[in-house]
Amino acid sequence: MNIMLLGAPGSGKGTLAEKLIKNQGFNQMSTGDLMRKEINDKTPLGIECARYMNEGRLVPDEVTMGIVKNFLQDNHNQLIFDGIPRTLNQAKILEENLIELNAKIDKVIYIDVPSEILLNRISGRLVCPKCKVSYHIISRKPKLEGICDNDGTELVRRPDDAPEKVKVRLEAYANETAPLVDYYKNKPGFIHIVDNANTTAEEVYAEVLGAL
Ligand code: ADP
C-alpha cells in the first residue's frame, strides 16, 4: 500500500510519516529531504533546488518530478509520499509514473490544520540534520535542550523556517497545493483528519491507523 500525505507546511506530515515508518514498516519519499540532500552534496540539481527553497518558493515541476522519477525506479511500494505532489501537474505526472511501474496511491491522508496554528508550529520547529526528526521548543522538546534524542546531533532551524520564508511557503500552499484537496476528496481512499490546537500527534496517528 502507498500513502500520500497532504497538508500545509507545519501540519505534521513529517511527524506522522515518522510514526508510520517506525511502527508500520513504510518507507518515506520526502521531496524536501531529497532536495536538501542534493543541496548538501552540492550537486547541480541541489544548486538549482536551493535557488527556490531558500526563498520558500516551490521548485519547478520538471526538476521535482525528475528527482521523484529517479527515486521511484527502485522503490514504489510501501511508500509514504510526503510533500509530493504540491501542484496539480505534479499529481498527474506522479500518477502516470506509478502506472508505468504497476503501482498506485492507495490512500490520501489530508491533515487539516487551521492556519494560525501552522505559523506557531513552524516558528518553534527544530530539526535533526542527521535523522530528520523534528522537535518543537514547547510541545515536543528533546530530552537534552538542542540535542536529538535519537543520535545526539545538534538540532538546527531550517533556513526556510524563518518567518518571511514561512509566509511565502504558506502562500504557495494556498495557491498551488490546497486545490489538490478538491482533486482527491471524491476519489476512493481519501481520509480527512481534522487537527486543531488541542490535538496531539499521538491522536492524529491513532485516527490515521483507525482509518487505514
Ligand atoms: P514543508 O512541508 O514544511 O514545507 P518540505 O521539506 O516538504 O517542508 O519542503 C521544503 C521546501 O522544499 C518547499 O518549500 C519547496 O521549496 C521544496 N519542495 C519540497 N517538495 C516539493 C515539491 N513537491 N515541489 C516543489 N517544491 C518542493
Reading the chain (212 residues) residue by residue, the pLDDT tens digits are: 999 999 999 999 999 999 999 999 999 999 999 999 999 999 999 999 999 999 999 999 999 999 999 999 999 999 999 999 999 999 999 999 999 999 999 999 999 999 888 988 898 999 999 998 999 998 889 999 999 999 999 999 988 899 889 999 999 999 999 999 999 999 999 999 999 878 889 999 999 999 99
Residue 209, Cα to own-chain centre: how many angstroms?
Answer: 18
Domain positions in the chain are 3-26+78-211
pLDDT at 199: 87
Q: Which homologous superfamily does the CATH classification assign to the domain defined by 3-26+78-211?
A: P-loop containing nucleotide triphosphate hydrolases (3.40.50.300)
- Cell numbers for 75, please give them: 522503490
- Alpha-carbon torsion (159, 116, 82, 173), positive or negative: negative
17 CA from centroid of ligand 1 (Å):
15
Distance CA 209, CA 212 (A): 5
The catalytic residues are 13, 86, 125, 158, 169
Beta strand residue intervals within the chain, DSSP E: 3-6, 27-30, 79-82, 107-112, 125-127, 134-136, 190-194
Q: State whether the beta carbon of 6 lies less than 6 angstroms from ligand 1.
A: no
- Are the beta carbons of 94 and 68 closer than 8 angstroms? yes
61 is in an annotated binding site: no
What distance in angstroms lies between residue 35's CA and the mean position of ligand 1's atoms? Answer: 8
In this predicted structure, what is the pLDDT of residue 189? Answer: 95
- pLDDT value of position 139: 84
Any residues with CB less than 8 A from the CB of 192 and at least 6 apart, and which? 110, 112, 185
> Measured from the CB, is residue 34 less than 6 Å from ligand 1?
no
Identify which of 136, 160, 170, 175 to mutate to test ligand 1's pocket (most ligand atoms within 8 A of the CB).
160
What pTM did the predictor assign? 0.90
Asked whether 56 lines ligand 1 (CB < 6 A), one says yes
